[in-house]
Amino acid sequence: MNITLLGCGRWGSFIGWYLDKIGHNVTIWGLSDAPQLIELKNTRKNNMLTFRESITITDDLESAVSKADVMIISISSQALRSFMQTLKQLDLRGKKIVLCMKGIEVSTGCRLTQIVEEYITDETQVAIWVGPGHPQDFSNGIPNCMVIDSRHDDLKRFLISQFSSDLIRFYVGKDLIGNEIGAAAKNTVGIAAGILDGLNRSSLKGALMSRGTREISRLIKAMGGNELSAYGLCHLGDYEATLFSKYSHNRGFGEKFVRGEKFELLAEGVDTTKALVLLGEKYGVDLPICNGVNDVISGKVSAKECLEKLFLREIKSEFDF
């Protein structure tokens, strides 16, 4: 297949490397002034991988899109709407779009597929690719399991047949709402985990994992999804990579934030947390962890005050629905 990666950050570039490795014709696109694209063009390397000559690297968006059977978008979630406004000017008929990114639009609470579907016709189908794993691990040959989901059963099964290998095993998603919300929300829980690390309270991650999953499952159900999705690969299954790994941007952000240090990399969970608070209010769902993280990163309370507040909440049954 002819596959174009729209985005050349750590995920976009890794996916390009991976899909080339398993036999597809790959083009990686990025903005002409993006440092990542400049490095790829000049050296065909980044800090993780070396890219074969079979991969086309370009800043020509129209050419990259025109040759693609499948377009995989891997950019900042908050930039997706403006990017789709650009993409809609090109001919997208018959193409397949895969979102390999996690987030919720902070200004509207929209899921990412909802944003894309505002700018495409029925002739273009969209899917998501979510689940655990870091490019650093994959590039070292460490396998993992991920999920592809879509409103179109034929699309997700086709993509799984084309993308699967001994490095990544894909499962068929059955709940687009749950998989999108769960995948985005794990980044908020990742920030919470970093805050615990920064406070030297890492032993509380067990409680965070169990309560965080239950909290997000309630939101998924209220939004019309399957609450069990929170316990799958999109959310709980991604906790090891997000709550514990040294490669996790969101965990790293939370740890540095609580220590008063600057975090230089993208942490999608910051905006996602604000969006989750919005969704909690909209659907009438109590989200104490999400609200607490939002209060901390917005400066309303200190991390210690937030932790004390969570511990002093009214007594409830563990599985109070």
* Threshold 0.85, pTM exceeds: yes
Is the separation of the CB atoms in 124 and 69 below 8 Å? no
Share of the chain above pLDDT 90, in %: 92
- The predicted pLDDT at position 41 comes to 94
pLDDT at 315 over 80: no
**Model confidence pLDDT, tens digit, residues 259-308:** 999 888 778 899 999 999 999 999 999 999 999 999 999 999 999 999 98
Same domain, 201 and 255: yes
**Model confidence pLDDT, tens digit, residues 100-135:** 999 999 999 999 999 999 999 999 999 999 999 999
Crossing angle for the helix pair 176-198 and 249-258, to the nearest 10 degrees = 40
Paired strand residues for 6: 29, 73
| Mean pLDDT, residues 48-67 taken together | 96
How many structural domains compose the chain? 2
**Boundary residue ending a domain (142, 172, 202):** 172
Q: Which residues contact 167 (CB under 8 A, 6 or more apart)?
A: 18, 138, 141, 143
Task: Report the CATH number that the domain containing residue 162 is assigned in CATH.
Answer: 3.40.50.720
Same domain, 99 and 125: yes
Angle, CA 152 vertex, CA 277 and CA 181 arms, to 5°: 15
Within-domain flag for 250: yes
Angle, CA 168 vertex, CA 44 and CA 139 arms, to 5°: 35
Same domain, 77 and 119: yes
| Mean pLDDT, residues 186-205 taken together | 96
Residues taking part in catalysis: 186
Within-domain flag for 317: no
Within-domain flag for 205: yes
Is the separation of the CB atoms in 146 and 168 below 8 Å? yes
Same domain, 9 and 44: yes
Within-domain flag for 248: yes
Which residue in 141, 193, 198, 149 sits closest to 167, CA to CA?
Answer: 141
- Across all residues in the chain, what is the average pLDDT? 95
Same domain, 119 and 192: no
Within-domain flag for 319: no
Q: Which residues contact 27 (CB under 8 A, 6 or more apart)?
A: 2, 3, 4, 5, 16, 55, 56, 57, 58, 64, 67, 68
- The predicted pLDDT at position 320 comes to 64
Task: Report the CATH number that the domain containing residue 280 is assigned in CATH.
Answer: 1.10.1040.10
Supply the range of the domain harboring residue 195. Answer: 185-311
